[in-house]
Amino acid sequence: MKKSWSELTEAEINRNKRNTCEKCLYFSRDGSTTTAGSRHCEYLLITGHRRGCSPLECKKKGIFKARPTGRRRINRAFTTS
């Protein structure tokens, strides 16, 4: 049985952020820090509405959007379409 997001330890949350969230377009990357614990999901800020699920369910619900890599990353724009 999976734990809900609120039941996870800080280490488990940071592990999930490293393994999943950091690969998502909506995960903050301000460059001021390298620790996963201080970064967060900016889905609400970018789209204007809530995710509607826990961060553990983003991929399954189709909310996760892969972060562009390579040259595409430089010119990326936030689009939700």
- What digits encode the pLDDT tens for the residues 10-48? 898 888 888 888 888 888 866 655 555 567 888 888 899
Q: Where are the domains of the chain?
A: 5-74
Q: Which residue has the higher pLDDT, 54 or 71?
A: 54
Phi, psi of 53 (to 5 degrees): -155, 170
Per-residue confidence (pLDDT) for residue 18, from 0 to 100: 85
The pTM of the whole model exceeds 0.85: no
CB 39 within 8 A of CB 58: no
